[in-house]
Amino acid sequence: MEPLIKINPGVTKWDIRQKVWDYIEENNLANFPRPVHNRIPNFKGAFTACPKVSELEVFTQTNEVKVDPDKPLEGARLAVLQAHKTLLVPTPRLRSGLFNKIVPPQGANKEQLRTCSSSQGVKDFSVPIGLDAKVKVDLVVVGSVAVSEKGFRIGKGEGFADLEYAMMASMGAVDESTVVVTVVHDCQVVDIPEELMEKHDLTVDYILTPSRVIKTNCLSPKPQGIIWTKLDTEKLEKIPILKKLLALEEQAGKDVTLGAGPPSAGPPLQTGPPKKQSRRKPRQKAIGQDSEEEAKEEKSKEPQPNARQRPARVRKESRGSEGDGAERRKRKAQSGRNIKEKSPEETGGQVVTQSKIPPGVTTVYLGGIPTGLRVSELKTSLREREAAPLRLTWQGAQHRAFLDYGNPEAAEKALEALQGLSLNGHLLQAELAKSQRRSKRPGPANRKARPAPASDAEAVDSKSDVHEHD
């Protein structure tokens, strides 16, 4: 069967992802969550394709099946539970371990099993499985953005499916007899150049689509274990279970030398369009320079007659609070960045991380922030999704934050990346700030007068939680 999406010579993995995501969106081939960019697409027809896993001959011989927590694989999880087999689901982003075993209620009916196979059911009916557990996975079901009939697979770019399989191989949970299946829309089956595949990439043995069952007969070997040089200390900090595996392999005498860390903040396995990365750094540098020059210019200027009172009052308050000024200078020296910081009392509960923003910024409203979440945790998540703003205004007590981006295009890309963001079990809502949904703002003066949403209920739509994987 001829692929629906043509792949040109010389493409990158990211080019293929973009082609598939664009095609699915343009042809309306996906369900919630939308848009599908930066996701494993929840394609229409997933519940037709997923049950085919139970029709595979290998399925009848399996006892333990590992299925990723992606939304389009919900039907595959249901098929495993209905067959009374052990269902293992990786913990989201591997933050709290490797596996969860789904344990349905005693005598559960089909509707209860359907609940257990959902993202909420994975949370409510799961039992953690430790590294010391004797797990033997017979079948692995993964989500994909694109896959070829030769068995080459491309995920959404964060490398979790590859890493999970490597971790399972390291702990002896999978071997050469373990079968890997992926479930995709027919349009996601494309010609992937073999030269794009690397040693750590996971290949698949079967492809299930709404219309076909494809046996790939792939001869490329699957990951035999963790390639530690592909990881760094930052990755180990984010995924604690990797530390335990590293210690075990080091005791066994294996080479566990880590690779060099990334030159900038962000997960080492995450990839994105080169133009996006190259545009972000120069913009930050220019903003830092502009802010510094503006600060020097402000300091050297003499106050005008019609503006004497306000500068004089500021200077008077500064002289009267030398301790506060020293503390601010100390914090600035410690941070090593040109940032003006204020306490929540001074800013009405806001934490501002950039003192001056040039004209043309576009603001994104982020609502539904859970109680107890730290601003540092939010910043980490923004960096992971390549949605770090020029400025972040934090209003944790009101369960919201405002993110300023350099232009509308950057804000739109950030909005796409932030769809489906879940922190501490709460789904956050990202959308343009209300003032910008009405009309374009003329400049920074209007930005300062930005009206906050009247209430969270007015700005946040209620949506079900969706686990994202790779």
DSSP classification of residue 388: -
pLDDT at 142: 95
Neighbours of 110 (CB within 10 A): 10
Share the mean pLDDT of the chain: 75
pLDDT at 186: 97
Report the C-alpha dihedral over residues 31, 33, 38, 41, rounded to 10 degrees: -30
153-182 exposure pattern, b = at least 16 Cβ within 10 A, e = fewer: bbbbbbbbbbbbbbbbbbbebbeeebbbbb
Q: Name the β-bridge partners of 134.
A: none
Report how far residue 377's alpha carbon sits from residue 381's, in angstroms, rounded to the nearest whole number.
6
pLDDT at 261: 55
pLDDT at 290: 41
Split the chain (470 residues) into runs of 10 and give each run's mean pLDDT: 90 95 96 92 95 94 92 95 92 68 90 90 82 84 96 88 85 88 97 91 95 93 85 79 82 81 42 43 40 44 45 41 49 44 37 52 90 84 87 89 90 86 82 68 41 36 43
- Give the amino acid at 38: N
User: Taking a C-beta distance cutoff of 8 angstroms, is the pair 405, 394 a contact?
Assistant: no
DSSP classification of residue 35: -
pLDDT at 285: 40
The pair of structure tokens assigned to 419 is 């769809």
pLDDT at 354: 41
Neighbours of 415 (CB within 10 A): 18
pLDDT at 292: 43
pTM of the model: 0.57
**Residue 183 host element (H or E):** strand 179-183
Measured CA angle at 179 (ends 116, 225), to 5 deg: 100
3-state helix, strand, coil in the chain (%, to 5): 40, 15, 45
Helix boundaries (H) for 301-321: 309-319
pLDDT at 225: 83
Write the pLDDT tens digit of every residue in 192-221. 999 999 888 999 999 999 999 999 999 888
The pair of structure tokens assigned to 252 is 């066994």
**Residue 346 host element (H or E):** helix 344-347
Cis peptide before 35 (omega within 30 of 0): yes
Longest distance between any two alpha carbons in the chain, whole Å:
87
User: Taking a C-beta distance cutoff of 8 angstroms, is the pair 144, 182 a contact?
Assistant: yes
Report how far residue 45's alpha carbon sits from residue 66's, in angstroms, rounded to the nearest whole number.
21
Which residue ranges form the domains of the chain, and what is each CATH number?
13-215 (3.40.50.10420), 276-288+337-456 (3.30.70.330)
Report how far residue 70's alpha carbon sits from residue 66's, in angstroms, rounded to the nearest whole number.
12
pLDDT at 94: 61
Question: Any residues with CB less than 8 A from the CB of 278 and at least 6 apart, and which?
Answer: none
457, burial (CB in 10 Å: exposed 0-12, middle 13-18, buried 19+): exposed
Q: Name the β-bridge partners of 426.
A: 423
Neighbours of 342 (CB within 10 A): 13
pLDDT at 91: 76
